[in-house]
């Protein structure tokens, strides 16, 4: 029998590429991650990790074991959800930014709906400021949005690098000022992009603004401007901006998953499903 926690740690390493990244994902120390990997190797009876420079990499057995670990954890999660959700009813209110609504949420909500068929889901997609306000006013039970400050009710913090993005066919540059597409303020991506450009005195102008990601996507796809988002914004027609634009480095975006204290059991089930699965899912559509 293999402890599912060992498999989660193993997959965190396989997907993150390092013990440090795995430790960050599962919120344990690197030494604890190393100890868990040693326990898993003892159970499997084969080495799963091998030295690679200053770090570790998967052995051929480790690479083959990734698929098995995913299947085991998926079956474990589905069984757990089904047992807990068979008699659950009521309402779950979830608020999320569009970053996740367009990428990871559909598959996870589908799993939750299968296991909790009697639960009504109220889904609110919006901007971080309005979602955070609704959460703090008790209007929603779970919020997945850009992190404002550390909070005791956080179940998960996702850290994803910001990057400069533009239309695959390129961006029109009629003058020396970089045309920038941004969301209306307040917006963490807008602030980060402007700060990074001003820090190196890179000339720019706001070429397009929008209150929504769909509007921002339309502006970028048109080729009139570049924008700063994460890999989640990549998709048909949008690519990483070319290096010859000589754009400055951007910080890491932080998203937090928060669960309202004393939330009902169904809300807790969904929140823990999101906390367990979001780090494993691809970020791009």
Domain ranges in the chain are 4-83, 88-158+255-280, 163-250
CATH of domain 88-158+255-280: 3.40.190.10
Q: Options 1.10.630.10, 1.10.10.10, 1.10.3720.10, 2.70.98.50; which CATH number does 4-83 get?
A: 1.10.10.10
CATH class of 163-250: alpha beta
90: left (phi over 0), alpha (psi -120 to 50) or beta: left
Residue 177's CB is within 10 A of a number of other CB atoms, namely 13
In this structure, what token pair is assigned to residue 217? 């996507």
Per-residue pLDDT of the chain (285 residues; tens, 9 = 90+): 788 889 888 988 888 888 888 888 787 888 888 899 899 999 889 899 888 888 888 999 999 999 888 888 888 777 776 666 555 567 899 999 998 988 889 989 998 888 888 888 999 999 999 999 999 999 999 999 999 888 999 999 999 999 999 999 888 877 789 999 999 999 999 999 999 999 999 999 999 999 999 999 999 999 999 999 999 999 889 999 999 888 999 999 999 999 999 888 889 989 998 998 888 776 665
């Amino acid at each position: 029998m293999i402890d599912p926690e060992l498999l989660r740690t193993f997959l965190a390493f396989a997907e993150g590429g390092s013990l440090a990244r795995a430790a960050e994902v599962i919120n344990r120390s690197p030494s604890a991650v190393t100890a868990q990997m040693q326990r898993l190797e003892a159970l499997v009876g084969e080495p799963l990790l091998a030295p690679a420079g200053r770090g570790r990499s998967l052995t051929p057995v480790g690479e083959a074991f990734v698929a098995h670990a995913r299947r085991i954890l998926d079956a474990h999660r589905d069984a757990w959800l089904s047992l807990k959700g068979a008699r659950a009813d009521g309402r779950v209110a979830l608020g999320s930014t569009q970053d996740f609504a367009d990428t990871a949420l559909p598959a996870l909500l589908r799993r939750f709906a299968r296991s909790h068929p009697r639960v009504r889901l109220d889904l609110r997609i919006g901007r971080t400021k309005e979602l955070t306000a609704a959460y703090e006013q008790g209007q929603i039970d779970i919020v997945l949005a850009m992190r404002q400050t550390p909070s005791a009710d956080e179940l998960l913090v996702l850290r994803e690098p910001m990057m400069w993005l533009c239309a695959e066919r390129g961006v029109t540059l009629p003058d020396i000022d970089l045309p920038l597409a941004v969301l209306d303020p307040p917006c963490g991506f807008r602030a980060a992009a402007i700060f990074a450009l001003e820090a190196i005195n890179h000339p720019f102008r706001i070429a397009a603004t929008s209150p929504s990601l769909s509007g921002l996507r339309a502006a970028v796809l048109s080729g009139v401007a570049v924008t700063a988002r994460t890999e989640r914004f990549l998709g048909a027609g949008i690519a990483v901006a070319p290096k010859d634009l000589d754009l400055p480095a951007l910080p890491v975006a932080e998203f937090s998953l928060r669960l309202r204290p004393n939330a009902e059991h169904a809300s807790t089930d969904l929140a823990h499903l999101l906390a367990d699965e979001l780090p494993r899912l691809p970020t791009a559509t």
